[in-house]
């Protein structure tokens, strides 16, 4: 039996990596109806609005920004998966379509996840320094979510 040498393995990995680049993600954002948007509806302070845009909206709205590395598979697939999962659980662009119970549940979850430092997720913070929020900012954002519950 012939052993596969290191050069063959590296060549095979490079070929697989190149082939992966042909499987692109869809970077099209759905249109945003500002009348349904969370920030439009809740009218936060400019500081809270900036935190939401910087730390939440990339994965939890139809306003995702795709950085350069989202052009490279398999990282692109991972990024798109996070965005799809994020908007599935909470979509600030669709906030006006949520009934009161669902909106209250999302606000309660949001406050809890921010307080427990579960959001924004660590991989996002590594590449998005603008999303890093201080303890005081976390407390302010969590309080804002709690105050908006009906």
Q: Please list, in sequence order, all residues whose beta carbon lies within 8 angstroms of the beta carbon of residue 51, skipping any fewer than 6 positions away.
A: 133, 137, 140, 141
Q: Where are the domains of the chain?
A: 26-147
Q: What is the pTM of this model?
A: 0.86
User: Per-residue pLDDT tens for 92-146?
Assistant: 999 999 999 999 999 999 999 999 999 999 989 998 989 999 999 999 999 999 9
Would you place residue 3 in the very low, low, confident or very high pLDDT band (cuts 50, 70, 90)? Answer: confident
* Burial call 69-107: b when 16+ CB within 10 Å, e when fewer: ebeebeebeebbebbeebbeebbbbbbeebeeeebeebb
Largest Cα–Cα separation, the chain: 71
* Mean pLDDT, the chain, integer: 94
In angstroms, the CA 50 to CA 91 distance is: 17
Q: Which residues, 6 or more positions from 59, have their beta carbon under 8 angstroms from its beta carbon?
A: 82, 83, 85, 86, 87, 120, 124
Q: Which residues lie closer than 8 Å to 83 by C-beta, 6 or more apart?
A: 58, 59, 64
């Amino acid at each position: 039996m012939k052993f596969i040498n290191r050069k063959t393995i590296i060549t095979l990995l490079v070929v697989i990596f190149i082939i992966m680049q042909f499987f692109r993600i869809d970077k099209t954002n759905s249109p945003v109806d500002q009348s349904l948007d969370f920030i439009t509806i809740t009218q936060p302070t400019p500081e809270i609005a900036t935190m939401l845009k910087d730390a939440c909206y990339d994965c939890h709205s139809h306003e995702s920004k795709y950085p350069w590395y989202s052009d490279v598979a398999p990282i692109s697939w991972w990024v798109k998966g996070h965005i799809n999962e994020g908007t599935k659980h909470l979509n600030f662009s669709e906030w006006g379509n949520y009934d009161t119970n669902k909106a209250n549940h999302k606000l309660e979850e949001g406050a809890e996840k921010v307080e427990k430092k579960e959001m924004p997720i660590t991989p996002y913070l590594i590449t998005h320094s603008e999303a890093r929020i201080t303890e005081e900012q976390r407390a302010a954002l969590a309080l804002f979510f709690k105050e908006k519950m009906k």
